Chain A
Amino acid sequence: MIRFLSRRLLWMAITFLLVSLVSFTLMHSVKGGPFSKERKLDPAILANMEAAYHLDWPIWKQYLHYMGPLNLGDEGWFGKGEQKGSDPFTGVLVGDFGPSFRYQDFTVNDIIGQSLPISALLGVVAMMWALALGVSAGIASALRRGSGLDLSMRLAATGGIALPNFVIAGFLVILFVFLIPLLPVAGWGTLKHMLLPGFCLGLGFAAYISRLTRTGMLEVLSQDHIRTAHAKGLAPRTVVMRHALKGGLLPVVSYLGPATAGVLTGSLVLERIFNIPGMGSHFVNAATNRDYTLAMGVTLLYTVLVYSLNAVVDLAYTLLDPRIRLEDQ
C-alpha cells in the first residue's frame, strides 16, 4: 500500500515537473506574456506581475520561485510569504497559482475556487448518469443476449460512442427545451439546470460503460462458478447480483480513471453550450483571452486531479479484486 502510493506519488511528481517546466518555459518565451518584459498591460496588473514573479531574476530562479515556497530573495531562503509585503506569492506547490493575467482583482485561486465546485458537481452528475444508464443497459444486454433489446442497445451504444457530445446536446436541447419544454435552456443553480448538461456529458461514457458491462457480464456468466451458484439453488437474480455483477463490473471500474479525465474534457464544451460558469468555461476563456497564468494554473491543477483520481480508481480496483496485489501495478 505504502509502496504503491509512494510510487504513484513519484510518477506524479515527475509528470508534474515535466508539465510545469514545459509550460513555464513556453510562457516565458511569449512576447507580451506574463513572464516577458515587453508587456502592454494595465498598470495595476503589471504591478501584480512584477510583485509576484520577479521578472528581473534569471529564468531558473523565476521557475523555482513560481513553483515553490522557497524564498529566493534577499530575505533568506525560507519563510516566503510570511514576511508581509516582501513577497505575496507563495508558489504553486503550496497551492498558490498567482494573480490572473486578465482580471486585476482576482487571483487564479479565486477563479478556481469559484468554478471548481460547479465543474465538480457537473462531473458527478454526468458520471452518475453514465454509470446508471451504462451499467443497467449493459446488464440487460448481457442477460438478453441476442434479443432485439440487446441489438438496439448495442446500436445505441455505437451511436453514443461515435457522436460528439455537442451534437447530442444540440438534439436534446431542441427536444427537451423546445419541443417538450421541461428544462431550462442554460444557466446554473437548480437541479433542473444540472440534469440536461450532466446527461449530455455522461451519455458517451454511458455508451462505453454499457459495452464494457455487457462484455464483462457475458464473460463472467459463462464461467463455471456461475453454474455452481445455480446448483446451490440461488434465485437467478441472486446469482446475477451477488456472483456475476462484481466480476462483470471490474472492467468498468478500471475505465473510471480515463472516464473521469474524459468528463473533465467534455465539460469544456458543455459548460460553454449551457452557459455554466465552471472551470471549463474559464479555461476556454483564458485560452482565447490569453490569460496565461489562469490557463497554466488550470492545466497544472487538472494534471494533479487526473493523476490522483486514477490512483484512487486503481486502489478501488484492488479492493474489489482480491487476486490483484497493489505491488504488481
Chain B
Amino acid sequence: MADHGSLERLGLKPEDAERLLKEAREFKGESLWSDAWRRLRRNRVALWSMYFLVAFGLMSFFAPLLPMRNPAAQAPEIQFQSPTLNLGDSGYLQEYAADDKITSEEIVNAYWPEMNSLDVLFVKVRLAVFGSWQPGFWMGTDAMGRDVLSRIVWGSRTSIKVALIASLFSLLIGVVYGALSGLLGGWVDNLMMRIVDILYSIPFIFVVIFLITLIGDYKQALEEWGIDRMVVLYLVIGAVYWLTMARVVRGQVLALKHKEFVEAARVIGASTPRILFAHVVPNVLSIVIIYLTLTIPAVMLFEAFLSFLGLGVEAPEVSWGILAADGTAAINPLRLFWWLVVFPSLAMASTLLALNLLGDGLRDALDPKMRGKD
C-alpha cells in the first residue's frame, strides 16, 4: 500500500483500502471453484452422473469385499446359463468357510491369481461377513461357465484403472509439453507445435496396433524390467492422447501470457515462478479439468477397443472390451446368448454416458461462456 496519494484521489482512507483489499483477497480465494460447484449442483443430470460414477467407482474398488462369484473360475459344465434370480448358494468357497484358519495364500491361490495384499484383506473381510454365501448367476454365465456379473464388476476395475492412469499420463505429457511450448514461445514454440501437427496427421490407431504387435516380441525382455502388457498399454494410450491437451494448454498459456493481470503482476515485480503458480496454473487448471473429463471416456473407449481386438488387456485379466468381445464372439445364428452382449454393454454404456454428461456439466460449470455451445 505504497501510494497514498492515489488513494486519496480515489477518496479512500488507507485503512479502508486495507479492508477492501482483504475482502478482495478472500473473495478471490473462493470464487472460481465454489462458483463452479454451485453451478454444477444446479445441473441435475451432471450431478446424478457424478453420484453414479462415485458409486460405481467405490463398487469396483471394493469388489473383493462383495459376495460375488469367482470371475475367473472356469466350469464348462455350466456354460451359457441364462440369467436366473435365485438367492444363491455357498458354492466353491464352502470348504474354506468351514475352516477358520485360512491363510491369505490359500485364498489367493483359490480365488484369484493376481490379487495384491489389500485385495486379499478385502476377501478375508468378505468371508468374515458373508461367509461362503454367493449369489446365483444373476447375469448368466459365459462360454467358459464364468459368472458374467462378477466379470463385469472385476472388469470395471481394469477399465477404470487403465482409463485413469493413461489419462493422467497423457495429462502429464500434454500439460508439460503445452506449457513449455507456450512459455518458451518463439521458434521453439513453432517447432514444438509443428511436431504436434505432424503427429496429429498420423493415423494413430494403426501405429499403436503396429507397436503393440512389435512389443509382443519383447515381452520377456520387458518383463525383466517390470513392464508388462498393462504398463505398455498405459504408456501407449497416454502417448496418443496428449496431443490435444498440449494444444489446449499452450493456447491457454499464450492467451494468459498477454492478459492484463499477468502483465500487472510482472510490473509489480512478481517472480516468474510466482506468476506461474499464482496466476497461470489456476487458470489453466480449469481448462485442464474440462479436457480431462473428455479424455477419460475416450481412453476408456480406446482400451475397450484394443481389448476387443485382442490387442489390449490379456487373460486372465478381464476388462469391458474383453467382455464385449466375448459377447460378440458368442453371437451365432442358432442360439441367442443375449445376456453376454446386453449386460457388459449396459455397464459400459452407462459409465461412458455418465462420464460424458458429467464432463459436459463440468465444462458448463467451469466455463460459463461455453454454456449451450456444444
Residues of A whose CB lies within 8 Å of any CB of B are 11-12, 14-15, 18-19, 23, 26-27, 30-33, 154, 158-159, 161-164, 166-167, 169-171, 173-174, 177-178, 185, 211, 214-215, 261, 264-265, 268-269, 272-273, 283-284, 286-288, 290, 292, 295-296, 298-299, 302-303, 305-307, 310
Contacts and interface: CB of A to CB of B under 8 A. Distances in A.
A18 B198 contact: yes
Contact of B214 (A27, A272, A306): A27
| 6 A-B pairs closest in CB distance | A170-B341, A167-B345, A162-B356, A162-B352, A287-B213, A299-B206
B203 A310 contact: no
A284 B353 contact: no
B205 A268 contact: yes
Interface of B: 197-198, 201-203, 205-207, 209-214, 216-218, 297, 301, 304-305, 308-311, 324-325, 327-328, 331-333, 336, 338, 341-342, 345, 348-349, 352-353, 355-357, 360, 373-374
B349 A162 contact: yes
Nearest to A261: B203
Contact of A167 (B203, B205, B311, B348): B348
A273 B341 CA distance: 12
Contact of A299 (B201, B210, B331, B349): B210
Contact of A283 (B206, B301, B304): B206
Contacts of A261: 203
B373 A302 contact: no
A273 B326 CA distance: 11
A260 to B, nearest CB: 10
A interface secondary structure, majority = helix
Contacts of B308: 166, 269, 272
Given A163-B349, A185-B331, 13 more contacts: A18-B202, A26-B214, A154-B374, A158-B353, A158-B360, A163-B348, A164-B305, A167-B324, A211-B374, A287-B209, A295-B209, A303-B203, A307-B201
A162 B342 contact: no
Contact of A162 (B214, B338, B353, B373): B353
A71 to B, nearest CB: 28
Interface centre among B206, B308, B355, by most chain A C-beta atoms within 10 angstroms, is B206
A213 B132 CA distance: 56
B198 A295 contact: no
12 contacts: A11-B198, A15-B198, A15-B202, A163-B353, A167-B324, A167-B348, A173-B328, A185-B332, A283-B209, A287-B210, A295-B210, A299-B203
Nearest to A264: B203
A177 B308 CA distance: 21
B341 A290 contact: no
Nearest to B340: A170
B338 A174 contact: yes
Q: Which of B202, B327, B355 has the most CB of A within 10 A?
A: B202
